[in-house]
Structure 1
């Protein structure tokens, strides 16, 4: 065990991520010693100290004192001092740079989701880890990716100390993702009449009823013309027009299963999935609530979607963003998944994992990184009108801020917008927020 509470593997895992973000075009080697980690890049060496076990205990409970520095993205980022220093916190001695701050412990707790195993961690009725009381809440971290800010600060200081070195930045990306919780607004007679009646009784809108009735008549003749199906095509066109990667996550349940809203084994659903892919969309799995802790169930759902799509599926996002570190990560590994897009807060937009760069998740039991690559979710449509209850103007402002932050740290802005957040009362959200982003 190191001087820090983190294992050697945990330190190396975290520092490798910092090095990858700080020096994306350079070969960096990480060495872990008793009281520090060292990044070897080209001919220089960056020494990173770590908090003691007692200090880590204070950090985990939100009692650790810290200072802050203004980051490249304009955020006041907390820094935990380990050793005394003058000036910028990075002291140069020949080819060696000695950092005064712990850049390792807090990023590891966020990236590995180890914070979810700490005393006092709270979850909601769906078993989801809550923002309230999290380390992001206690230290004010949710509006910026801490690990990436640390890495970019490190790059800036290294380049200032060794001006002969130039770093080629990583191009940022914007990824638009769509969870297809509901593929059809209209279904059988009862469901169709129920949703039509809601337009009159709930929304008291004759014009909305007439629009819905016309949609029902068309979709009754051709289910592929259902408004929720058409929304998928329109979202894809908007994504492609803006140069965004577009991923659709389909539930893979069939008749008789809990929470089934469409039968992925039907020819109709399979045809819709294949058509979206032919138009340029990436098709991915939307694992059921049950599958978040059941690898065999998730494997079966993956196989069904592969049959419907006619291709291999290795990308996933859990329904309701359900995730518990041990059980869900184990299920993903059993199911043979390579990429996941689950990890964001349902009730708060921002940076749950402390990074907006793809990174391998960490297996606590084996004390080693896994082969499952996490793509952290930054923002979701329902967060703003179901949890935060903010205006469309405020939602757009926040999304633009988060997108700009991701671009500044050369990461990926990953947005979740449901295909059902398109029609009726959600039409203004689609037009004034999604289409303006």
Structure 2
């Protein structure tokens, strides 16, 4: 499916009549910069947008209020999943992102430890297995590789799974990356293509010409650009508010436990079937469903929890205990293994569980790439490529209408 929805005035055309000289990289006038695109936020989504935009020939400046990749991207597991998405726009975006990861970014995958390990979803009882079978049937109809497996086949896929599980599904397309390495190397590649990357520069205001956004202001400089991309993750609503725009992106806190290094124990990304329902829930209370995987370093990552507590950064003993119980419920062999650390962050949650991608007609010149919740790492590649296509006036590989910032479902 292709479409031109989401296209706006081509920034290169809009910038063509500016007095500043053109060339690769941003144009420096004193402390100020001129570019075709200013990307606000240097996490995975912002880095992917900068990379693809720079590769498309646009002059790009990336700004972040903190360290590069130091927000939500540093607090995730690195999921690149199709398994946890029901049919609809998000699954289409996930499948498009899979193609981008495996084709457009394939040559760079070793830099961010891209592992095409596959996923295994397990159901403990008849009811959860029936729901999983319904989901896999819908996913297969949409083109996903989803293989139903019985209890014996589960044991063949993951020998340490507890016995007595009802069955599950195998998703060969599921993958994993190391998210901090991803951000670092995408920004390095973007810089090599001419982008200018500026950490520790918070955007404090937008430049305007009437209703149109024409750049951003930081405490150090102005960046004039006919297109500004709001890729500020959990803080995207605050950035949008600087332009007088309401964008209901909310924080949803999540924890991850990390074990001591182990011999190879878990071969796939393994999670309970209930995880899919938790992802799609709007409940503010603590939810936990086990998501477990090994890493190249030998550590095991144990997720996942979700709760809406604002930006409360305190550690939750209840959340960590739930993670440990969930892990042991699937892998009894982890009993006695030490958890060496835990980390947590805030996922950018939208009320209708879809990201916001594309131009904002309420403030021409402002674009959004945010609200991906826990799927931002996996969807970053497809999101960045789609925005680069739209920013250069090309038809987008997917229509952007379902992700529009003014869509009805986002008003909740």
Shared fold (TM-score, shorter chain, > 0.5):
no
TM-score class, shorter: under 0.3
Structure with more of its chain in helix, by fraction: 1
TM-score, scaled to structure 2: 0.27
Structure with higher RCO (Cα < 8 A, 6+ apart)? 2
**If each structure's strand is expressed as a fraction of its own residues, which one has the higher value?**
2
Q: Give the TM-score taking structure 1 as reference length.
A: 0.26
Larger radius of gyration: 1
